[in-house]
Chain A
Amino acid sequence: MAVAPPAPRRSAFLVGGIGLTAALLVAGVFLPKWLTFLVTMAAARGLVSLGIVLLMRGGVVSFGQGLVFAIGAYAAALAFKRFAITDAVGLACIGAATATLLVAPFAPLLSRYRGIFFAMLTLALSMVAFGVLVKTESLGGSDGFNMGRVTVFGQSLGDAHVGYVLYAVTIVIAAVLALAARFYFDSTRGLVSLAVRENELRVEYLGGSVRRVMAINFLLAAFAGGAGGALTVMSLGHIDPNFSYWTTSGEFVFVAILAGWQSVLAVFVASTVLEVVRSFSSSYFPNTWQLSLGLFLLFVIRFLPRGIGSLWVERSPSRRGVASP
């Protein structure tokens, strides 16, 4: 049904991705501490939004992605605290795997829903998790709990360079998942997702299983979101049930819309933009930062309906001439 992407395109992404990652790693040495922390947060949270973009390509938006974010973060923090697993990469894998496993039973169910119903059902799931977390005293209840300092490949991290190392780990994991997402988008199943977005019934008539595509997309989004949650909690050092609250999910959707569904890089650019807007407005106008965020979001929806990714991604020939929806 779909043609594999031409080889040069694939290797171009690979070279570009590795180059950009290397550049970021070098730049991190010279960046001030607050900025490396900001970029770390942006990359880790960007992974959750990457999952939403993946779902958006199939035509659905999850308003409850805070769920997998929280599962990933709690799994990593608990593995650290209870089982003394301290390796950063290992914890990220645990976060991603746990999030995927725990939401797996819901995937076949959710794959039946579209539009607002999908959004609301995912929202309900994340709010149930929030309620459970708030009431679970052994997990710290509404206060959450602190997490100690992780290690990387058996090395403990000193005060001087812990920020940079976590930055590097986050950037590398985010880059790997971003490249994987790019390749998935260009794969047959990734392209079928776009077809589902355009017209489900035709996909079914052509022999594709829409529900399987949706379920797999949901699981992949959970994997990315879980990794993002684990990476976030490692840098923050603290976790609480707000990770699963609907306003947290709202921010992830915000970034996904800001990014648009065409470009993977745009997700991380958008995530960084949000972190910059958040940290600047909370220090310069602490009382109105939500207001600025809202105005910014309206501006994007009005004037960049296809997201900032549309600024540099050329429209593909098949869509050229079609009025944007």
Chain B
Amino acid sequence: MSIAATILIDALSYASWLFIVALGLTLVFGVLKILNIAHGSFYALGAYAAASFVGWFATMKFAPGWSLVAMLLAAVVVAALVAPLTERGLLRFFYGRDEVLLVLVTYAMFLILEDATKLLWGANPYYVSQPYSLFGNVEIGPQVYVGYDFLLVALALVVGVAVWWGLNRTRRGKIVLAVIHSEEVAASMGVDVSRVYMGAFTVGIFLAALGGAFTAPMISVQPGVSVGVIIVSFAVVIIGGLGSIPGAAIGALIVGLARSLAVHLAPVAELFSIYIVMALVLMVRPEGLFQQTQARKI
């Protein structure tokens, strides 16, 4: 019983940050039709920025609670600085090209950002332990869990609801949906499509950076964190169906559960359990769980 609870809570906390990151990925794909390999680099940028911001806040003698604000601020700064720069300065020159070619453009971006991060922050690991200890431990029955894990779950819920509400219940969101549906028709109705692109890309990058910032306390922030995240979040959106918000949520839960089951019951399989699940889902539903089959054009 207690092992089941542990597996479940592990899966939930893993799924929560993964959902935040994958939501950004799926949003960018939904609107811009770009599968962004550099998404993991933005996650890494968020984590590094959070490490720096939390450090600065600490040296300025802010109360420990402010480290949460520092992490949020880090994500905002990364999104505001880097997203418009990459979208306007680079991606827009490649719109309308083949999907796979666009994947390669973002692969190039990933290579560039990987070195840029190393140049800015060096190769040594950073540790952001302060926020992690802020929430203490939670005792459920005989087991002790880290309070921070529950914060992540709450954050994922808030982010998920906010993005859903923003897309479905606001005017701007409906414009974004219109662009997703058909950018030509949207443009002919007077929608500034390139602004929607930039906005959606910025929100997507913000989510990646937010995921990075709030996982920074749980990991050692060092070169290479981006690589693992990219592949795992790809698995999530592929399982859930590209461009689908509920898909990202279910995908994150499935991946979180698969990993957590593997870690606790069959540690040998930890590294590839996620990919096996992804391959299985693709075999049964090639378009992902929440994607409608699209008609082929003749």
Min CB–CB distance A48 → chain B (angstroms): 16
A295 to B119, CA, bound (A): 16
Q: Is there a chain B Cβ closer than 8 Å to A250's Cβ?
A: yes
A74 to B46, CA, bound (A): 38
List the one stretch of B64-72, B104-112, B155-163 in contact with chain A.
B104-112
Interface string of A232-246 (1 = CB under 8 A from B): 000000000000001
Interface string of A253-281 (1 = CB under 8 A from B): 11001000000000000000000000000
Q: Assess the A120–B286 pair: CB atoms within 8 A.
A: no
Q: Assess the B111–A290 pair: CB atoms within 8 A.
A: yes
Min CB–CB distance B130 → chain A (angstroms): 30
Interface string of B206-238 (1 = CB under 8 A from A): 000000000000000000000100010011001
Q: Assess the A288–B272 pair: CB atoms within 8 A.
A: no
Provide the main secondary structure of the chain A interface: helix
Q: How many residues of A contact B (CB 8 A)?
A: 45
Contacts of B270 in A (CB 8 A): 131
Q: Assess the B104–A257 pair: CB atoms within 8 A.
A: yes
Q: Of residues 260 to 291 in B, which have CB atoms within 8 Å of A's CB atoms?
A: 268-272, 275-276, 278-279, 282-283, 286-287
Q: Assess the A297–B119 pair: CB atoms within 8 A.
A: no
Min CB–CB distance B22 → chain A (angstroms): 14
List the one stretch of B12-20, B51-59, B90-98, B165-173 in contact with chain A.
B90-98
Instruction: Say which residue of A109, A202, A301 sits within 8 Å of B108 (CB atoms).
Output: A301
Contacts of A246 in B (CB 8 A): 227, 231
- Assign chain B's interface to a size class: 35 or more
Instruction: Say which residue of A201, A294, A302 sits within 8 Å of B109 (CB atoms).
Output: A294
Interface string of A86-113 (1 = CB under 8 A from B): 0000000000000000000000010011
Q: Is there a chain A Cβ closer than 8 Å to B74's Cβ?
A: no
Q: Assess the B105–A301 pair: CB atoms within 8 A.
A: yes
Contacts of B283 in A (CB 8 A): 109
Instruction: Say which residue of A112, A119, A127, A199 sits within 8 Å of B275 (CB atoms).
Output: A127
Q: Assess the A301–B111 pair: CB atoms within 8 A.
A: no
Instruction: Say which residue of B115, B235, B272 sits within 8 Å of A131 (CB atoms).
Output: B272
Q: Assess the A61–B271 pair: CB atoms within 8 A.
A: no
Min CB–CB distance B115 → chain A (angstroms): 4
B98, B272, B286, B296 interface centre (most CB from chain A within 10 Å): B272
Q: Is there a chain A Cβ closer than 8 Å to B88's Cβ?
A: no
Contacts of A253 in B (CB 8 A): 104, 107
Min CB–CB distance A196 → chain B (angstroms): 13
Q: Is there a chain B Cβ closer than 8 Å to A212's Cβ?
A: no
Q: Assess the A301–B231 pair: CB atoms within 8 A.
A: no
Q: Is there a chain B Cβ closer than 8 Å to A13's Cβ?
A: no
Q: Is there a chain B Cβ closer than 8 Å to A130's Cβ?
A: yes
Q: Is there a chain A Cβ closer than 8 Å to B181's Cβ?
A: no
Q: Assess the A257–B272 pair: CB atoms within 8 A.
A: no
Min CB–CB distance B119 → chain A (angstroms): 7
Known: A132-B272, A287-B119. A257 touches B101 (CB 8 A): yes
Q: Assess the A294–B108 pair: CB atoms within 8 A.
A: yes
Q: Is there a chain A Cβ closer than 8 Å to B174's Cβ?
A: no
Min CB–CB distance B120 → chain A (angstroms): 11
Contacts of B93 in A (CB 8 A): 302
Q: Is there a chain A Cβ closer than 8 Å to B100's Cβ?
A: yes
Instruction: Say which residue of B90, B97, B271, B278 sits within 8 Å of A298 (CB atoms).
Output: B90
Q: Is there a chain A Cβ closer than 8 Å to B298's Cβ?
A: yes
Contacts of A184 in B (CB 8 A): none
Q: Is there a chain B Cβ closer than 8 Å to A25's Cβ?
A: no
Q: Is there a chain A Cβ closer than 8 Å to B79's Cβ?
A: no
Q: Is there a chain B Cβ closer than 8 Å to A115's Cβ?
A: yes
Q: Is there a chain A Cβ closer than 8 Å to B83's Cβ?
A: no
Q: Assess the B275–A131 pair: CB atoms within 8 A.
A: yes
Q: Assess the A116–B115 pair: CB atoms within 8 A.
A: no
Instruction: Say which residue of B99, B110, B272 sits within 8 Å of A128 (CB atoms).
Output: B272
Q: Is there a chain B Cβ closer than 8 Å to A79's Cβ?
A: no
A169 to B238, CA, bound (A): 42
Interface string of A111-151 (1 = CB under 8 A from B): 01101110111011101101110110000000000000000
Contacts of A20 in B (CB 8 A): none
Known: A291-B116, A297-B108, A301-B94. A123 touches B231 (CB 8 A): yes
A253 to B103, CA, bound (A): 11
Q: Assess the A290–B105 pair: CB atoms within 8 A.
A: no
Q: Is there a chain B Cβ closer than 8 Å to A321's Cβ?
A: no
Contacts of A124 in B (CB 8 A): 235, 275, 278-279, 282
**What are some 21 contacts across the A-B interface (CB < 8 A)?**
A61-B100, A113-B282, A115-B99, A117-B282, A117-B286, A119-B100, A124-B282, A125-B275, A127-B231, A128-B275, A132-B272, A250-B107, A253-B104, A254-B107, A287-B118, A287-B119, A291-B112, A293-B111, A294-B107, A294-B110, A294-B112
The 3 closest A-B CB pairs, nearest first, are: A131-B272, A131-B271, A294-B111
Binding site for B on A (CB under 8 A): 61, 63, 109, 112-113, 115-117, 119-121, 123-125, 127-128, 130-132, 134-135, 199-202, 246-247, 250, 253-254, 257, 287-291, 293-295, 297-298, 301-302, 305, 325
